[in-house]
Amino acid sequence: MNVTDTQNAYPFLQQLTQAFGPSGLENPVLSLLAVATQGYADETYRDTLGNLYVIKRGTSGKQVMVSAHADEIGLIVTFIDTDGFLRFTTLGGVSVTNLLYRRVVFENGVSGVIAVEKLDKPGDLSLEKLYIDIGATSESDAAAKVRIGDSAVFVGEYTETQTRVISKALDNRIGCFVLSEALKQVVSPHTLVFVFTTQEEVGLRGARPAAYALDPDWAVTVDVTRTGDTPKSARMAVRLGAGVGIKVMDRAIVIAPYVKTWISEQARKQQIPHQFEVLESGGTESGAIQLTKSGIPVGVLSIPARYVHSPGEMIDKRDVASAIALLVALLQDQAGPQIPIY
């Protein structure tokens, strides 16, 4: 598969990234996915945490869970002062250094800008020094527009070139996009349950009960990973445009060697560009899936992304095409990962 094969689908990625969907408020994103996958599913339903399940039935007797989280990082209002400025805390891993003078938007369309109190020295920058200015003139004016507990997301417009995409929320709407494209193409002997999960950014929450309920024979997660290809970045053997990442380890999981071998062998057989990924900070919901019940074999396909958890994340379409092709190959494999007999 190459970029041209999926080019016509990218307007849907734009819709996904620009939809409002911080942790706990993923409905706009999940509604888009429910409509987009409707014609390819035998059954669709939601659970009590809001996870969206899209099922494509097979006859092998085996069930495979395929997951990608639908939520994005965000902010949540904790206090409104007498002048109408909003204090807030974070939803997910948001760096304070990424916040200053960023624009944000609330679910009801109210916009604001993150600003900072006067600092005695630059090193004093902290979350407690920041506030959101929505242009209100008083506490009552602000409270008429935004309430305590309301969430906001970054404003980050979608920009696309021949090979690359820049946008907010590519973590992890690109994973959702890969799942939706694979669903359209795959013909598998197994029952496939595509799960678009909630609240990953605040503790891998949606995937855990989903994996518990399904208890699949094996699972595959699709998410973004960081890169080591920008000036003076941390040393990491992942680059944009070099192919889909096959996860070896992150802070939530060490992939079982037989699962890693199975995935890499499929990539090699299908001649799919790929690279191996060791993420030294951060994790994915695969860690929650792996530890469910008596343990679930799980692999991770990683989309290299620059500037993760910012309003301007960047991915390469060639890596996306590789991820779709490899996911389809894995799901169509008759045997799946084979647990070694010692």
Q: Give the per-residue pLDDT at 288.
A: 97
The 3 state secondary structure assigned to the chain is CCHHHHHHHHHHHHHHHHCCCECCCCHHHHHHHHHHHHHHCCEEEECCCCCEEEEECCCCCCEEEEEEECCECEEEEEEECCCCCEEEEEECCCCHHHCCCCEEEECCCCEEEEEECCCCCHHHCCHHHEEEECCCCCHHHHHCCCCCCCEEEECCCCEECCCEEEECCHHHHHHHHHHHHHHHHCCCCCEEEEEEECCCCCCCCCHHHHHHHHCCCEEEEEEEECCCCCCCCCCCCCCCCCCEEEEEEECCEECCHHHHHHHHHHHHHCCCCEEEEECCCCCCCHHHHHCCCCCCCEEEEEEECECCCCCCEEEEHHHHHHHHHHHHHHHHCCCCCCCCCC
Q: Give the per-residue pLDDT at 98.
A: 87
* Contacting residues for 179 by C-beta, under 8 A, at least 6 apart: 66, 67, 68, 194, 196, 222, 327
* Contacting residues for 65 by C-beta, under 8 A, at least 6 apart: 193, 195, 210, 211, 214, 216, 218, 219, 220, 289, 296
Q: Which CATH superfamily is domain 3-72+168-332 in?
A: Zn peptidases (3.40.630.10)
Query: Given CA atoms 327, 48, 200, 209 in this order, what sign does their dihedral have?
Result: negative
pLDDT tens-place string over residues 275-306: 999 999 889 999 999 999 999 999 999 999 99
Cα–chain center distance at 342: 36
Looking at the annotation, which residues are catalytic? 200
Question: What residue has token string 């951060």?
Answer: 282
Considering the entire predicted model, what is its pTM?
Answer: 0.96
* Contacting residues for 184 by C-beta, under 8 A, at least 6 apart: 40
Tell me how far CA of residue 211 lies from CA of 13, 137, 225, 291, in angstroms.
Answer: 26, 48, 22, 9
The partner residues of 219 in beta bridges, in order of sequence, read 65, 298
Q: Give the per-residue pLDDT at 215.
A: 97
The domain limits of the chain are 3-72+168-332, 74-154
CA angle 186, 267, 66 (to 5 degrees): 45
- Region label for 225, one of left (φ > 0), alpha (ψ between -120 and 50) or beta (otherwise): beta
CATH fold of 74-154: Elongation Factor Tu (Ef-tu); domain 3 (2.40.30)
Per-residue pLDDT of the chain (342 residues; tens, 9 = 90+): 566 667 788 999 999 999 999 999 999 999 999 999 999 999 999 999 999 999 999 999 999 999 999 999 999 999 999 999 999 999 999 999 889 999 999 999 999 999 999 988 878 899 999 999 999 999 999 999 999 999 999 999 999 999 999 999 999 999 999 999 999 999 999 999 999 999 999 999 999 999 999 999 999 999 999 999 999 988 999 999 999 999 999 999 999 999 999 999 999 999 999 999 999 988 999 999 999 999 999 999 999 999 999 999 999 999 999 999 999 999 999 999 998 887
